[in-house]
Amino acid sequence: MFFLIRMAFWFSLVLLALPLGVGSDESGQESVGPIQALFAARDAVGDIAGICERKPDVCETGKSAMHTITARAKETAKIAAAMLDDKSAGPDTSTTTGSLPEVVLPETVNLPIEN
């Protein structure tokens, strides 16, 4: 998940760096140049980094949420590993249809050889 967020961030910076008609659009708003976008992104990251100083309860809630998500992910991984171990422990009898009889090999019998 964090990889996707990082990828979207860097992709948006690349799109902002491309020179695509810098100027004002039809609505009269001025477009942002690549340098302005870079400075705005730097200021936004600095603002997000300082949120724990302004609102410590937000950081505490975030830490608690991450702890809960981590604990649930660990439990889910344990359940999945147990399910995989149960399935691989014995032979798969769910696909046996019973239409073919089992082959029983006879024991070898030592018969005397006549000359």
For residue 78, the model assigns a pLDDT of: 92
In this structure, which amino acid lies at residue 113? I
Question: pLDDT tens digits for 48-80?
Answer: 878 888 888 888 898 899 899 999 999 999 999
Q: Which two tokens stand for residue 27?
A: 């609505």
Please tell me the pTM assigned to this model: 0.39
DSSP 8-state class, residue 30: B
Burial of 28 (0-12, 13-18, 19+ CB in 10 A): exposed
Which has more pLDDT, 77 or 86?
Answer: 77
